[in-house]
A and B are shown apart, each in its own frame.
Chain A
Amino acid sequence: MQRKNIKFSIFKYAMLSLVAIFVLFPVYYMITLSLRSQSSLWSKSTLFPVDSNLDNYRAAFENTDFKRALLNSVIVCGSSTLIAVLFSVMAAYALTILKFKGRDTLGRIIIIAFLTPGALLFIPLAVIMANLHLSNSLRGLILVYLSFMVPLGTYLLIGFFRSLPAELEEAARIDGASRMQALWMVLLPLVAPGLVSVAIITFTGAYNELLYSLVINISPEMRTVPVAILNLSVADEVPWGRTMAFSSIAALPVMALYFAGQRFVVEGLQTGSVKG
């Protein structure tokens, strides 16, 4: 029995190490190559770090287009996240706590929008935004991103509101609080983890978005980070060291955010997909 346990333990950790290599190798490769020049890449084929220097990173910080793209991404994702969280809280609150005619229908519309693949709508959105003179602007992209962030945020927050005891709002009202006070002082503090998780999930979703950004913002000054990195390549020629350095810089803040808020993200995904 004892021996069997030890064998099983060895097996477990061996499997976990394989998983770790599988998961972490691409990250390792991205970083080692980001530290090498194009000529070093072509002359020495090795999996280990050689000729490491920070030139590609220096190039990133001297590249005005890339800095511009980082700023654009922060503006677009930051503002659309703030708006989406606000709209989603209002809707999720109404759909779970309030009772009104047509509530179920509106809830169903939100879920249908949430389940609609974004690739379905990029063509009409590109045409409509051009007609409204909103393409090639950060405002336009913010508006378009709301179309997937609001249904997602509402869907996730419905799960959080549902997990609150049903009598809570009523009790606050009986104690003399208005609906707004009950929402602001009693309900919101309790769904705060949900707000954090929705903010992280929608922010990263918008930051990673490529298709809408590609078709709506064509002019170089309005590019977001994914499009800027895609545009480092000229025709089929990819400057790999540089692309990997820029990618590392682009990935770092989002991954840090993700791991700092890991608890909330996991809870949000679970609440959304299990209880929602």
Chain B
Amino acid sequence: MAAKTLASAKNEVSKKRTGIFAPTSLFGYFMMLPAMSVLVFFFAYPLSYEVWTSLTDKTLGNDAKFIGLDNYASLLTDPDFITAARNSVVYVSLVQMGKFILGLGIAILLHQKLVARGFWRAVVLVPYAMPGFVAFMVWKLIYNPDIGALNIFLMKLGITDAPIAFLGDRTWAMGSVIFATIWRGFPFWAIMFLAALQAVPKELYEAAAVDGANAWHRFRNISLPGIRPVILIVFMLSTINTINSFEAIWLTTAGGPSDATVILPVFAYKGLAAFQIGESAAAALSLVPVAMVFAIFILSRLKKD
């Protein structure tokens, strides 16, 4: 009883004092201080520095001179940048499509009645647990024309007579890199989708079975709507990761052959390595509009839920 009145009294006090200098506010800012300092020094500051640099002609050892939007203008007429942007779109959309299909298919498979489901789930997690740099080195080896497993396999079966340079041939390079990226990334989708499927109430399926719905209808009308929010969020988180996948390209093809697999982060990295700091800053910033669309989308979705 006494505790109750104390609590309500406290509530009134805190209602009255919610300004910036109220004790609870000060404690809140104190707890936020370390994380916010990290973000100010290593996020906000570099970001503003990058915006400023992209408006200058900064190269190494050169005093930066303000040149307005010239870097952006020259990027838009640079065929290499256009190639990188187009490659990024192709790479990200095909990788995401592949991860979605594979992830959903394997999640449905794991959702069936299974002996040792935990074991199968752990097997599916293997590519995701493997460090990315290891995974992509192994795929580079598998694609190798001389000693790679894929060529040995295809030639033993007599499908090809001559080895194929999967990463060195323009027709194969992008597809091969996309396949390796899907291999490494699909487990995240499968595990998320599996958890979402398991959270769909069983009664819904039972009721539908009583009503005579077949497996496809149950999937279409119960499972899919049930896991829709998870699909959306996984799609967004994974897309941002995939836009970012510098290592997948750098370790396998380094952007080659002749720019066939250069995506935006690789383009920006090559610019930095050539000390074209201003221009590569502008190239890196061209990721912002893409990331912004996803950020706004995810924020509005989270608010709704």
Contacts and interface: CB of A to CB of B under 8 A. Distances in A.
Interface in A219-276: 225-226, 229-230, 238, 240, 243-244, 247-248, 250-251, 254-255, 258-259, 262, 266, 269-270, 273-274, 276
A72 to B, nearest CB: 15
B19 interface: yes
B20 A101 contact: yes
B94 interface: no
Contact of A47 (B41, B152, B268, B302): B152
Interface residues of B, number: 98
Interface string A95-115: 100111111001011111101
Interface string B259-274: 0000011001100100
Chain A's interface size range is 35 or more
A126 to B, nearest CB: 7
A90 B141 CA distance: 44
Given A45-B147, A86-B34, A147 B133 contact: no
A22 B153 CA distance: 14
Main secondary structure of the interface of A (DSSP, over half): helix
B222 interface: no
A144 B246 CA distance: 17
- Identify the interface centre among A20, A150, A204: most chain B CB within 10 Å of its CB: A150
Nearest to B50: A124
A210 B137 CA distance: 13
Contacts of A214: 269
Given A29-B149, A250-B134, A269-B192, A98 B24 contact: yes
A93 interface: yes
B134 A251 contact: yes
Contacts of A248: 134
Nearest to B234: A273
Contacts of A198: none
17 contacts: A16-B120, A26-B127, A30-B134, A45-B146, A88-B35, A115-B236, A115-B294, A116-B291, A120-B288, A123-B280, A125-B46, A144-B42, A170-B7, A211-B265, A211-B269, A254-B131, A274-B233
Interface of A: 12, 15-16, 19-20, 22-27, 29-30, 33, 41-42, 45-47, 86-88, 90-91, 93-95, 98-103, 106, 108-113, 115-128, 143-144, 146-147, 150-151, 154, 170, 174, 179, 204, 207-208, 210-211, 214-215, 225-226, 229-230, 238, 240, 243-244, 247-248, 250-251, 254-255, 258-259, 262, 266, 269-270, 273-274, 276
